[in-house]
Amino acid sequence: MILAFDTYYVDNTAKTVCVSFKDWSDDQPSHIYNETITGIAAYEPGAFYKRELPCILSLLKQIELQEVSHILVDSFVLLDDHDKLGLGGYLYQALDATIPIIGVAKSGFHNNTKNTLELIRGNSKKPLYISAMGIPLQEAYLNIKKMHGNYRMPTLLQILDTKTREN
């Protein structure tokens, strides 16, 4: 099972959603998990993981981790060419480096060329920025490339984004 996570914030409340799917080419999730929690830390520039990581770890308690082959996050795994950890890297560490983590970011991050690959999907002019731990970067790139959908964002990640923003 593959998992993809996203979190939407309103003040100090966070709604975290996870879609699960079996194959990279799936067009519909197998299951959708969600959780809303309050008392979320304020955004801290350069330390986004402090806000979102607790939300993901809390939602992961609903899921049998031994069935999970990969986890996708709407962020970076590594933030720069010096291997500074991003949200995905901290998640990888929190899970004792047992599940490969793939970051799918919508915008670039300065000084981050060694640990990311730019992926152009569909007719988009704007790339997705792929990063990874626990899996070769090229393999992570190819997995995201073969995800269902004709647009920049794969279908399942579009569904995830929509579900995250719903009341």
Q: Which amino acid is at 76?
A: F
What's the pLDDT score for residue 148? 98
CA distance 158 to 67: 23
Intra-chain end-to-end CA distance of the chain, in Å: 26
The overall average pLDDT reported for the chain is 95
Report the C-alpha gap between 5 and 81 in whole angstroms: 24
**Cα 64 off chain centre by:** 18
> What number is the average pLDDT over the span 100-107?
96
Q: What is the pLDDT of residue 68?
A: 98
Judged against a pLDDT cut of 80, whether residue 46 lies above it is answered with no
Tell me which residue range forms the domain holding 67.
2-165
What pLDDT, on a 0 to 100 scale, did the predictor assign at position 44? 80
What is the average pLDDT across 3-31? 96
Is the CB of residue 40 less than 8 Å from the CB of residue 21? Answer: no
**CA-to-CA distance for 141 and 86, rounded, in angstroms?**
17
The confidence band for 103, taking pLDDT boundaries of 50, 70 and 90, is very high
Q: Which pLDDT does position 41 carry in this prediction?
A: 82
* Count of structural domains within the chain: 1
| CATH value at residue 159 | 3.30.2170.10
Rounded to an integer, the average pLDDT of 42-59 is 89
Q: Give tens-digit pLDDT for 107-159.
A: 988 788 999 999 999 999 999 999 999 999 999 999 999 999 999 999 999 99
Q: 85 by DSSP, 3-state: which?
A: strand
